[in-house]
């Protein structure tokens, strides 16, 4: 119906803290280095801010560009093999960048996984 049609027009938006580790760049494996990041899911983009929401806001003001990931054509999956931590999922981008995301709090990770998967399923591949 009309409500469903309108829902598709509303951009997915979500912010919060997650542990993040980049493990490959352009298909090339990297040394894993976990850090806590303020993450913003906005449209088809996932933005990473190293410090905090405050950092994100100050980046906005100064025009400092945060690191971000294009979710078009990306894949998302749970992984138990790539970390000793619990609740880890991986995003692989078209450009061959691989990121792990994690939180000890089940609900937080689940929420992020589903929100990101929804965007990946929705956005056109190119
Ligand atoms: C890594 C560090 C990571 C760990 C990784 C270690 O050591 O302890 O936290 O990943 O395991 O290699 P270093 O700091 O010396 O680089 P997890 O916490 O995700 O298990 P890995 O090599 O099995 O990926």
Structure confidence by residue, pLDDT tens digits, 103-126 = 999 999 999 999 999 999 988 776
Q: Which H or E run contains 10?
A: none
Q: Is the CB of 114 within 6 Å of ligand 1? A: no
Q: Is the CB of 29 within 6 Å of ligand 1? A: no
Length of the chain: 126
Interface predicted TM-score (ipTM) of this complex, two decimals: 0.89
Which token pair is 111? 């929420």
Of 22, 57, 11, 12, nearest in space to 38 by CA: 57
Q: Which atom of ligand 1 is nearest to the CA of 21?
A: 19
Q: Which atom of ligand 1 is nearest to the CA of 23?
A: 24
Q: Are strands 98-102 and 88-92 parallel, antiparallel or unpaired?
A: antiparallel
- Give the pTM: 0.85
Which token pair is 104? 């000890």
Q: Is the CB of 32 within 6 Å of ligand 1? A: yes
52-104 pLDDT, tens per residue? 666 667 777 887 778 899 999 999 999 999 999 999 999 999 999 999 999 99
Does 8 have pLDDT greater than 70? no
């Amino acid at each position: 119906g009309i409500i469903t049609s309108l829902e598709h027009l509303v951009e997915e938006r979500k912010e919060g803290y997650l542990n993040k580790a980049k493990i490959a760049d352009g298909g090339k494996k990297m040394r894993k280095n976990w850090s806590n990041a303020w993450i913003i899911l906005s449209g088809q983009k996932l933005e990473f801010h190293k410090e905090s929401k405050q950092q994100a806001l100050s980046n906005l003001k100064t025009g400092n560009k945060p690191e971000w990931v294009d979710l078009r054509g990306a894949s998302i999956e749970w992984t138990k093999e790539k970390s000793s931590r619990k609740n880890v999922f991986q995003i692989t981008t078209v450009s061959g960048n691989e990121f792990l995301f994690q939180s000890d709090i089940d609900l937080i990770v689940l929420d992020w996984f589903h929100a990101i998967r929804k965007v990946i399923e929705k956005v056109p591949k190119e």
